[in-house]
Amino acid sequence: GPKRSETTYAFRSLIDSGSRPAFGSDWPVAPATPLEGIYAAVTRRTLDDKHPDGWVAEQKISVEEALRAYTIDAAYAGFSEKSLGSLEPGKDADFVIWNAPPLSAYARVEQTWIGGRRYFDRDEDAKARLAAASERTRFGFFRLNSSCARKRSARETASARGDDACTANHLSMTSGFAF
């Protein structure tokens, strides 16, 4: 009942008790993209907007705590904190670079790096798309394409398209964030 529902997604209580919640985006019990998951944990607003101040508002956590749950704490939960979860010498350098803080209204991914290699750069990708579109148009053929729909590994898919929706869907695999 209502009393029991107050303990659902009790992130603040978990963190305050010394627990390390691990967030992920690979199971359909919560928002599918990490940015939506972070927003939900920070604001606790419901999709129907019945709780504009947040559902069980005392369980809200900070953006930093939510990012930590998606990165180092998720790596810790998977026994991978020595190689993943933060940007440190000797660890896999998987990260995204944003143009603004991730939850700001105009945030977008500028670059995606996996294993220390840049897989997506918004500026370079835009130039390449323009050149390819110009070439296809010259021959009277233009096709819209969704890189995310192609069969690729999750890491390739995360960086191939590079937009917020595609990259964010696999953000739980990244090791850190840069602002």
104-146, pLDDT tens digit by residue? Answer: 878 888 999 888 889 999 988 777 766 666 555 444 333 222 3
Instruction: Count Cβ atoms below 10 Å from residue 59 Cβ, excluding itself.
Output: 20
From residue 57, alpha-carbon distances to 11, 75, 90, 102, 103 in Å are 11, 27, 39, 21, 18
From residue 21, alpha-carbon distances to 9, 17, 74, 105, 121 in Å are 10, 11, 8, 26, 31
pTM equals 0.65
From residue 166, alpha-carbon distances to 77, 80, 81, 150, 161 in Å are 24, 24, 25, 12, 7
Q: How far apart, in whole angstroms, are the C-alpha atoms of residue 21 and residue 19?
A: 6
Summarize pLDDT for 41-69 with one digit per residue, the tens.
999 988 788 889 998 999 999 999 999 99
